[in-house]
Amino acid sequence: MLFCQLRHHRVTQRRNWILSFIAIVSFFTISPILAAETKDIKDIDITLAVDRQLQKDEGVPAHLIDARTKDGIVTLSGPVENLLARERAAEIAATVKGVRSVINLIDVLSIIRTDAQIRTDVEHALLDDPATDLFDVKVNVQNGKVMLTGMVDSWQEEQLCVLVAKGVIGVKAVKSKIEVSQKSRRPDDEIKAEIERRLAYDVWVDEALIDIKVLGGNVILSGTAGSLAEKTRAFRSAWVAGVTSVEDKDLVVDWSRSRELRRTTENYPMKSDKEIKQAIKEAFFYDPRISPFKLAVSVENGVVALNGQVNNLKAKRVAEQDANNTVGVWLVRNHIKVRPDIGPHSSPKPDVDAELAKKIRLALLRNPYTHQHEIGVTVNNHLVMLDGTVNSNLAKTKAEDVVSAVRGVAAVTNNLRVMKTWTPKDDWEIKKNIEDELWWSPFVDEDDVAITVTDGTVTLIGVVDSLRERRVATENAYEGGAKHVRNELKVRYGPEALRP
């Protein structure tokens, strides 16, 4: 579940979902054309593709991770220093074409911390997060493994608590025994209709080959998904109100069948503004970071305007992300205001800013991707400025993300400098790398994209089906080594200005 990055912020954002430095020389000997002709991809080719994706990602120690594949099932093993890196490796593998499942045997060999230290930090993380601070959740830790207990109102709230706990340094695993309260039962046909709508409006899911059955609140997904990442996304979307369980073992991953569907049917019907607005509102309802707030959504010709007020920056950012992940949305204008719950203070404003700066520094020290960096934090009237040097674009983006989820932060100016810069390559090498990126991506039809490279600047020409494919193609180009990308791709089922 994937879901952000990296030479530019655009590539980093995707690698929370689709993640990706060095190309393996032997990989160039693989023939993707042969695999395409047979519709079957050899296990060794999948293994090399997964290795290549891991090596390019700044968030996992690829030199320590081994991958092997049998019948499309990838097994990952080796040591990493934090739980987020372990899960990130599995998410990367899930975005490789032909991967049907991932067995994650990676060991977390985190820095040595006592269970008491970890428990304290997890509790603080849950309390400092504006979306989880009111949940009735208790934390127990044994040998670095966290157990969460308590009760929340939805599966999404439970998952958010798990995610927050995983983001604490020293945590080796998180197990949830949080109970989800069922407020009321819903008719099965009503549940099914809502799941169908959610899948139909998710830009990362092609719902036409997915079948849904609901029996007494138990959801059974079957059919075909184009990638393991898509299957995971469908599973998460199926957790609507009234659902007690979701089973997806009969939802098989078959990239070739999904590709054939996209080529032979108009799988991207245009949505009305009214339909888009309703889909966004439903996405907000199921997102615990946004559901507490009353946000206004307006849509005109696929252009979305978000208005209203939230009490934390993370909610504003997530609202825009949720809208962008909705089918039919071409552009999001985010006018949401962040108004932290300040309340009456007896302390002078400088003391309030100093206290917020302290909370931010502690949050950065808790996070596995930012704790080792010396990041300067300055706060002025709830505006946070970050300064210093980090070793990757991922660390820069993670720092901003961590800060945005601290209660009291209204805006962030990210002045962090990244030590790494673009590494010059021959144009032919960049083109080859991008072709490989496009071929192995389950989200783009590589036959639709023509590539030219001049002095590191990549131009993409052709016609793709969706705006999602157009955006992913840009990210693939950067991941392949482009210095700059000119995306001139037209979109069959996209905004009028981009249609062929």
Same domain, 89 and 141: no
Residue 191, Ramachandran bin (φ over 0: left; ψ between -120 and 50: alpha; else beta): alpha
User: Is 295 inside a domain boundary?
Assistant: yes
Cite the beta strand spans of 115-180 per DSSP E: 136-142, 145-152, 173-180
Local confidence band at 123 (pLDDT 50, 70, 90 cut-offs): very high
Nearest to 395 by CA among 431, 364, 422: 364
pLDDT reported for residue 34:
33
What is the C-alpha to C-alpha distance for residues 19 and 43, in angstroms, rounded to an integer? 21
User: Is 3 inside a domain boundary?
Assistant: no
pLDDT reported for residue 134:
85
DSSP 3-state of 223: strand
- The number of domains in the chain is 6
Of 88, 108, 128, which residue is a domain's last? 108
pLDDT tens string 331-386: 999 999 999 875 545 455 667 889 999 999 999 999 999 998 999 999 999 999 99
pLDDT tens string 200-234: 999 999 888 999 999 999 999 999 999 999 999 99
Same domain, 282 and 326: yes
Q: What percent of the chain lies above the pLDDT cut of 70?
A: 88
Same domain, 102 and 120: no
User: Is 4 inside a domain boundary?
Assistant: no
User: Is 292 inside a domain boundary?
Assistant: yes
Same domain, 354 and 277: no
Same domain, 14 and 78: yes
User: Is 227 inside a domain boundary?
Assistant: yes
Nearest to 302 by CA among 486, 475, 467, 463: 467
User: Is 162 inside a domain boundary?
Assistant: yes
Same domain, 248 and 225: yes
CATH of the domain at 476: 3.30.1340
CATH of the domain at 403: 3.30.1340.30
User: Residue 437: which domain range?
Assistant: 427-498
Q: What is the mean pLDDT of residues 167-184?
A: 91
pLDDT reported for residue 2:
35
User: Is 483 inside a domain boundary?
Assistant: yes
Of 89, 108, 127, which residue is a domain's last? 108
Q: What percent of the chain lies above the pLDDT cut of 90?
A: 78
Same domain, 137 and 215: no
Decide which of 306 and 181 is more confident.
306
Same domain, 251 and 295: no
pLDDT reported for residue 343:
52
Torsions phi, psi for 494 (to 5 deg):
-140, -165
pTM of the model: 0.86
pLDDT reported for residue 16:
44
User: Is 2 inside a domain boundary?
Assistant: no
Local confidence band at 481 (pLDDT 50, 70, 90 cut-offs): very high
pLDDT tens string 457-472: 999 999 998 999 999 9
Same domain, 100 and 145: no
Say whether pLDDT at 33 is over 60.
no
Q: Any idea which residue has 């939805």 for tokens?
A: 154
Q: Are strands 484-487 and 457-464 parallel, antiparallel or unpaired?
A: parallel
Local confidence band at 267 (pLDDT 50, 70, 90 cut-offs): low
What is the C-alpha to C-alpha distance for residues 43 and 392, in angstroms, rounded to an integer? 31
Q: What is the mean pLDDT of residues 307-312?
A: 96
CB contact at 8 A, 498 and 490 = yes
